Structure 1
Amino acid sequence: MMASERDVFGLSGPGHLTLTDWKNPDHRRSVAASLVQGVYVMERDRQQNRQGPEALAPTWWEFFHYHIIRKLVDDADFSIFGAIYEFKFPTANQSHSAAPEAPKYIIAFRGTITKPDSILQDLKSDLDFIRNCLHRNSRFELAMQAVQDIVSDVGPLNVWLCGHSLGSAMAMLAGKNMAKTNIFLESFLFNPPFVSAPIERIKDKKLKQGIRLAGSVITALGAIAVKSHQGRSISEDSFAMWSAWVPCLFVNPEDHFCSKYIRNFEHREKMEKIGAGGIGRLATQNSKRDLLLTAFGKESDPLHLLPSANLIINKSPSADFRTAHGIQQWWRPDLQLKYKTYLYE
């Protein structure tokens, strides 16, 4: 089977980064995205039986002086869903001290691959995310243990978390879990999915704003009701624990899977400006579905809700949804990016 151009680093990768400046945010973003792509290509190598010199994946990490120390493999279908990379110069007289800003280890997770050898387990993980039970997913349990082991061995300053789409959700959950223990990992979350009602399709801006405001009020009232019944808001403790974690969220407004993050943070800011910050903060901490589950005694912590983030929006035009959602956009050298940091206080 002929390889897709997107899998070939020399054709579609960031070959322009012949010298990586680890202090440059564009370079850091490109490296993180490339190593996530390496996981995608590694799994496609496996499915298409590309081995040895025919394998296309290694160039995606070797170009940046990384090598694989562990593949994260699903127990059910043996698909590769993640990888742990270690920084290592190719010559013996060079060491990590030659590039101290480079992370010693990068843990990366891919998203869904719609091919027969992996689609069933990928879709199962997708559904677990939608149902807000990704934390019980066997694939995530392997990922979480891998993150904890690496951080325990080398410390948090030497580790990056990276992921795209479903893999971004896994990296986000792993990052949240570590943040709850006061360990804050530098994280690059590409096109992280946000489950919500599709109100962005409504054309009337005033109607959309009214719906968002009403939704915030309803969610805040629900949180107050649960707090009065149980003695606390279901998410206030966890929000306080991980609010110091500020992951990088890379989103495209034309990707309906992740674009709600833009509206979510903007809406919270607007609520502050109109003097309804308390309502906005309560709504940020909770989702209506998870409040309902908690009211019936099922403790639920909505994965997609974040207190703080560095939001990076790709303002460059996208040819189609596949382009807007794809990992390939994030190493392009000509991106038009908008940066905004949101801190929860």
Structure 2
Amino acid sequence: MTSEREDFNLTGPLHLTDVDWKNVDHRRSVAACLVQGVYILERDRQENRQGPEALATPWWELFHFRLHSQLVDDADHCIFGAIYEFKSACDCNHLTNGSPRYVIAFRGTLTKGDAFLRDLEMDIHIIKNGLHRTSRFEIAMQAVRNTVAEFGNSNIWLAGHSLGAAMAMLAGKTMAKMGVFLEAFLFNPPYLSAPIERIKDEKVKHGIRIASSFLAAGLTVALRARQQKNLSEDPFVALSAWVPCLFVHPGDHICSEYVGYFEHRKKMEEIGAGEVERLATQNSFRGLLMSAMGKESEEPLHLIPSANLVVNLIPAQDFKEAHGIHQWWRPDLDSHSKVYNYR
């Protein structure tokens, strides 16, 4: 059954008839629509909607993109991503007007159809910090590498929502470690942590974060000493020049911790505890505890050194609205953005 939210003419940004690629709101809206296009590609496949019955095409054609290729999971053959190519009048046009040349987009979890079980499996891998070991991510990563190798890293965007944002973030981090910094639009990216941001009392919330930082920093120092690692080694330095755009809603417990994560770093610097936080911010308690028990721990997927954090200030009626992709192309979106650079 077709949902109204799948139909561009009913829920798409019909107001966006002339895209200004230097306008941050337009860029955000287009990136979100391209991610939505991946959702609808998979829904078209599930419902066997073809030709004039297919609903996906308008989500990218209005913005002068064409579907370059689909990214298909090798386990259940669902469509989890897409590569879009911008159709400019001149090959050099994207260099002058700010448009991307290619956009690699990933959808999030679909609760409808036969993709759900595989998507749920990916969600569990995120919780276990093992997304990088999945065949789906390897397919995604290979697509990113191939696109960069063929066309260079200039004007290539990554975009994703929820599970797809985690996929895009991991791909972006992987490329950044090689010195390739791709522009990224990460909508409602998962942050795996206790929901401290939901605590209403600011003093209690701040106190918990400070205590957690000192504990994490202390564990880090102790573990590095035991493993004979240099404390001056900072794995975040190689990533710090990559500044992805993170789009979060305070009412979405899946991603709202990013607000506290970055704000707390700033507050720790203000009270003279910046060095403590620089140690703490790179590690998750899960990883530290695994290392303490002598087990191999992976780099936390969700932790990043720098970001342009965009917070939707419009209250959501429920979690579904707070976590949804549709909020990010609203013409009346009221948001606050702030760039956090790791130093």
In 2, distance between residues paired with 1:233 and 1:139?
35
Kindly indicate whether residue 6 of structure 2 is the aligned counterpart of residue 11 of structure 1. no
Of residues 126, 145, 148, the one that matches 1:148 is: 145
In the alignment, structure 1 residue 317 sits paired with structure 2 residue 312: no
Choose from 293, 301, 304 the match for 1:303. Answer: 301
**What is the Cα deviation at residue 291 of structure 1?**
1.4
| Shift of residue 115, structure 1, vs aligned partner | 1.9
Q: How does 1:1-345 map to 2 (within 5 A)?
A: 1=1, 3-89=2-88, 94-100=89-95, 101-232=98-229, 236-295=233-292, 296-345=294-343
Structure 2 CA distance for aligned equivalents of residues 148 and 115 of structure 1? 31
Distance 1:237 1:273, change over 3 A: closer
For structure 1, the 5+ residue unaligned runs are none
Distance 1:24 1:268, change over 3 A: same
Aligned residue for 2:114, secondary structure, equals coil
Distance 1:132 1:46 in 2: 30
Taking structure 2 as the reference length, the TM-score comes to 0.96
Cα distance, 1:99 vs structure 2: 4.4
Partner letter of residue 162 of structure 1?
Answer: A
Please say if residues 307 and 343 of structure 1, whose CA atoms lie closer than 8 Å, have aligned partners that are also in contact: yes
Contact 1:250-1:312 at 8 Å conserved across structures = yes
SS in structure 2 at match of 1:156: coil
| CA offset digits 1:92-141 (Å, max 9, x no partner) | xx224344321110000000001240111101100000100100011001
Cα deviation, residue 222, structure 1? 0.7
Aligned counterparts of 2:92 and 2:342: Cα–Cα separation in 1: 35
> Structure 1's 249 and 236: CA in aligned 2 closer, same or farther, altered over 3 A?
farther
Measured in 2, the distance between the counterparts of 1:176 and 1:77 equals 27
Q: Write the distance in 1 (CA, Å) between the matches of 2:167 and 2:161.
A: 9
Check conservation: 2:94, 2:101, Cα contact below 8 A. no
Q: CA deviation at 1:233?
A: 6.6
Larger mean Cα displacement after TM superposition, 307-316 or 205-214: 205-214
Q: What is the alpha-carbon distance in structure 2 between the residues aligned to residue 162 and residue 235 of structure 1?
A: 33
CA distance in 2, matches of 1:83, 1:238: 31
Opposite residue 18 of structure 2, the aligned amino acid is L
Q: In the superposition, relative to structure 1, how do residues 99 and 146 fare at CA in structure 2: closer, same or farther (>3 Å)? A: closer
Percent identity over the alignment is 61
The residue identity in structure 2 corresponding to 1:308 is S
Q: Tell me, yes or no, if the aligned pair for 2:187 and 2:325 is still in contact at 8 Å.
A: yes
Q: CA deviation at 1:203?
A: 3.4
Aligned partner of residue 108 in structure 2, secondary structure: coil
Q: Which amino acid aligns with 1:10?
A: N
SS at match of 2:252: coil
Deviates more, 1:98-107 or 1:254-263: 98-107
Any stretches of 5+ residues in structure 2 without a counterpart?
A: none
Which AA in structure 1 matches 2:20?
Answer: D
RMSD: 1.4
Distance 1:203 1:317, change over 3 A: closer
Q: Is the 8 A contact 1:17 1:27 kept in 2?
A: yes
User: Is residue 188–residue 254 contact of structure 2 (8 Å, CA) maintained in 1?
Assistant: yes
CA distance in 1, matches of 2:112, 2:337: 35
- Count of residues in correspondence between the two structures: 340
Q: 1:74 offset after TM fit, Å?
A: 0.7
8 A contact 1:66–1:85 mirrored in 2: yes
Shift of 1:280: 1.1
* Residue 337 of structure 1: how far off its partner (Å): 1.0
Is the CA contact (8 Å cut-off) linking 2:221 and 2:231 kept in structure 1? Answer: no
